Amino acid sequence: GSDFAPANEGDPTLRGLSRSTSIPIPHHARLVPRPPRAALRHDTRTRSTRADCPWTSVQVRRRLLLLGGPPAPGSRERCRDAYDAGLFTPYGSLGALSADSFTTLSHPVFPGVSVRIKKSGGFCDNTVSSYTGYIDIEARHIFFYFFESRSDPAADDVIFWTNGGPGCSSSLGLFMELGPCRVLDADGPKFHPQSWNANANLFFVDQPIGVGFSYADFGEAVGTTEDGAKDMARFVFVFFEHFSQFKGRPFHMTGESYGVSWGRYVPVFAAEVYDQNARLLEDGYTPINLTSVMIGNGITDFYTQMSSSFDMMCTPASLPPLLSISWTVLQIPRCEARLKKSCVDSYDYTDCAEANSFCSQYIKQPFYKADRNPYDISKECNATNRAENLCYPLTAHIRNFLSRPDVRKTLGVDAALDGTRSSAAHVAGLLERGVRVLIYVGTYDWSCNWVGNERWTRGLEWSGREAFAGQALRPWSSAGGTRAGLVREARGLTFLTVEGAGHMVPYDKPEESLDMLQRWLAGKSF
């Protein structure tokens, strides 16, 4: 009779823990809203074959163990009735989509969500099929790219990528870092051999509303990251239901900076996918096979990360110090005390913002006076370049390329703030549920530096904390045998540095980043 139900009752990953064991799982992950059963009974339309009922897939059955066992009583019958009803027919093949106009897809489980999608030709890479479109959720319209794998699209994993900012378009990740092509100059896209779609299907999503080509009617917007997470989880479900060749494939959520900064996007999105899976299983649908999250140069715990910025400036953490150690000794206690009082011990948006502002004036101002690139401290960057192109002139070429009318027509582009809080608990919750987590960081990044990321991962409260923290950092090497950085891994959590890389690891070290990705997707140790 309740509107909520426990999502993780009987989770085998929690067995053997004492009643006093503290496991920081976020509030929204504990209580899961049930979809209206009446609406599902009368409106649900699913495919006419039962081949993809969740208990028929060995791979998904294994995932069920992490969700607390087999489908709930009655879900087998609901799935059989729904699949046999023939009221919903999946679109079937991506290749059948039109290049001239959008095809609109929907699913009755989420009646307010639809997906407009079209073929987008070879605007980026002629060797693979590419698609673009919008996730339409009432008055919100979220733009996305989808590229099939260069290897085996029907069998390879699926990766979801989002950039950070907040407010940074994922087109930067696509055209500057890890996409099938790069726009490095005024001549337009060039083939990128180290693209992450070498062995995986690849999503790039412009979110939240107002980022890149995403927009809203009547000024509507997403208020919090948690609201945006629901949009993303529903989109992936609808997409997989219509293009069933991707159902059950390992699904990895990844991003960088505010894509994971303060842990907001990727950990929160992944937690929502996991919670949505519980509801889908209960009603007989195939869950999304959430396999791992990858966090690149993020600030998942801002309290730790803020003070570690002093380490990057005043100690030889990566390069020779920019400021004297006496500056650090003076400022760190003052900064940490304010952050702890207003952002950690108790959270108040205004007080926390003031504490951040206080710390920033003693961190950012001295750093910027040194005219260094905050995303790669091995390089110089003055105030003019920071304001115009984020210290990377090629961003202007990307912006100009995407502003061309012919490119916008090919993509089908329409004519037409969340607070900073630590989300380490979301990462802990995912680990407790059996989802692997990779934290990778370029050692030359100052804005989201490796020192702070190493500290918060080592201090993360979860059942594997002692096993993880007990492992020493050790070198890891690329496929060619060259030292690539340091790594610590245990119980599904991996922290990894990429030496010589800045904030955008795939841009600075494309070969090493692709090698990292392929080993991670294959489940290999570093």
Question: Where do the domains of the chain lie, and which CATH numbers do they carry?
Answer: 302-381 (1.10.287)
Position 239 scores a pLDDT of 96
- 3-class SS of residue 130: strand
Position 415 scores a pLDDT of 76
Position 221 scores a pLDDT of 59
Question: What is the C-alpha to C-alpha distance for residues 240 and 247, in angstroms, rounded to an integer?
Answer: 5
The helix (H) or strand (E) run that includes residue 474 is: strand 474-477
Question: What is the C-alpha to C-alpha distance for residues 515 and 496, in angstroms, rounded to an integer?
Answer: 13
What residue has token string 């489980």?
109
Rg (CA), the chain: 23
What residue has token string 């790669």?
376
Position 84 scores a pLDDT of 52
CA distances from 51 to 56, 88, 239 (A): 7, 15, 17
Position 9 scores a pLDDT of 36
Handedness of CA 297, 303, 304, 306 (dihedral sign): positive
Catalytic residue selected from 125, 206, 231, 445: 445
Question: Phi-psi region for residue 385, left (φ > 0), alpha (ψ -120 to 50) or beta?
Answer: alpha
Write the secondary structure of 168-214 as one string of H (helix), E (strand) and C (coil).
CCCHHHHHHHHCCEEECCCCCEEECCCCHHHCEEEEEECCCCCCCCC
Strands, E assignment, 312-454: 372-373, 376-380, 436-442
Position 515 scores a pLDDT of 97
Position 209 scores a pLDDT of 76
Question: What is the C-alpha to C-alpha distance for residues 150 and 196, in angstroms, rounded to an integer?
Answer: 9
Contact 370, 448 (CB under 8 A): no
257 is catalytic: yes
Residues 6 or more apart from 259 whose CB is under 8 A from it? 161, 162, 163, 164, 168, 265, 266, 296, 298
478 is catalytic: no
Q: For residue 328, give both structure tokens.
A: 């650090």
Average pLDDT of adjacent 10-residue blocks, the chain of 526 residues: 34 35 35 31 30 39 43 48 64 94 94 94 92 93 96 96 76 95 96 98 88 79 70 93 95 75 67 93 92 85 74 84 78 86 86 86 81 92 84 93 93 67 77 95 92 92 96 95 97 98 96 97 96
Position 225 scores a pLDDT of 65
Helix axes 302-314, 325-339, angle to 10 degrees: 170
Q: Which of 80, 88, 86, 146 is nearest to 116 (CA)?
A: 146
Helix axes 325-339, 349-369, angle to 10 degrees: 170
Residues 6 or more apart from 368 whose CB is under 8 A from it? 374, 383, 386
Phi, psi angles (nearest 5°) of residue 149: -65, 145
Catalytic residue selected from 125, 503, 508, 515: 503
Question: What is the C-alpha to C-alpha distance for residues 347 and 368, in angstroms, rounded to an integer?
Answer: 29
Position 368 scores a pLDDT of 84
Contact 34, 282 (CB under 8 A): yes
27 is catalytic: no
Count CB-CB contacts under 10 A for residue 469. Answer: 14
Position 475 scores a pLDDT of 98
Q: For residue 468, give both structure tokens.
A: 């993880």
DSSP structure class, residue 132: E
Catalytic residue selected from 257, 318, 447, 478: 257
